[in-house]
Each structure stands twice: as C-alpha cells, then as structure tokens.
Amino acid sequence: MITRFAAALIALAIVAVSCGAPADSAPADSQVVAELADYKITVNVPSVKAGKVKIGVRNVGTMEHSFQVLKTDLPPDKLPVDGASAKAKEDGKVGEIASIPAGKSAAVNLDLTPGKYVFICNVAGHYQLGMHTGFTVDAP
C-alpha cells in the first residue's frame, strides 16, 4: 500500500517536472518571434519592414506544431480548408518549418516583400482550432 502510494507520488513528480520545463528560446537574432501554443499563434511584433527577416518560432505547446508563412490578402481565419486532409490550403506560401516538436524552437530565414501575410500551423485540424494570425510587411 505505502509502496504503491510512493510510486504514484514519484509518477506525479515526474509529470510536474516535464510540464514545467520551459520551451527553448528562439534564436537571439530573430527579428520576429512567433509562439505556437495549443491552438493559437502569437507574434511579438505585428509588422516588420520588407527584406531579409529571420523568424524564430517557439513551440510552447504540448504537441508537435508546424509553421507556414502565406502571403495572402485573406483574413487569417478565412483561408480555404481542404475537407479531406483537414488542412488549410497553402496558396501563397513563401516559407515554412514543417515540424517543431513540443518544447523546441526553430527559425526560418525569408526575404519578404511588402504586403499582408498569415502565419498558420497546418498540422491536420490545428488551423481550424485557431492556429493562425495575421502579419504585415511594410515597404522598406
């Protein structure tokens, strides 16, 4: 009885430690930092000047996410979705990070032209659950 209780306590402690571990930080030279949570994307700045841009992406969620950069005038929550794959259509894609494991960070270097963009996670179903945000690239 005591042994079983102790084992349960140890198991709880392990879960607490793994949940409390902070996500990797994004590369320090990123001009833009996006955070992927379970089911939303937040960005540290709403816009950036056109040109070469390094976007650091932190997955602070509990599961794998992806990061797609689409150049589009559509509102972030109005991209067409393919019913069969449960993924948003990636028209206008200018770059991506195909997979970022939970708790990890990655970066993508892009040469961005002025206009409106949408950042999404396109793991099946995640776009529809809210993993999208708008972003603007201003004329240099």
Torsion of CA 83, 126, 136, 95, to 10 degrees: -80
Q: How far is the CB of 121 from Cu ion (least distance, A)?
A: 3
Amino acid at 28: A
If one asks whether residue 132 binds Cu ion (CB under 5 A), the answer comes out as no
Residue 67 or 117: the one with the smaller Cβ distance to Cu ion is: 67
- Return the number of the residue (117 or 119) whose C-beta is nearest Cu ion: 119
Q: Which of residues 40-69 bind Cu ion (CB under 5 A)?
A: 65
Instruction: State how far the Cα of 15 lies from the Cα of 32, in Å rounded to an integer.
Output: 32
Distance of CA 77 to the CA centre of its chain: 15
Q: Cβ closer to Cu ion: 55 or 123?
A: 123
Q: What are phi and psi of 62, to 5 degrees?
A: -105, 10
Single out the residue of 58, 87, 126, 132 in contact with Cu ion (rule: CB under 5 A). 126
For residues 92 and 59, what is the distance between their CA atoms, to the nearest angstrom?
Answer: 23
Nearer to Cu ion among residue 40 and residue 114 (C-beta): 40
| Interface pick for Cu ion out of 121, 132, 135, 137 (rule CB under 5 A) | 121
Query: Among 67, 64, 66, which Cα is nearest to 55's?
Result: 67
Least distance (Å) between residue 40 CB and Cu ion: 9
Applying CB under 5 A, which residues contact Cu ion?
65, 121, 123, 126, 131
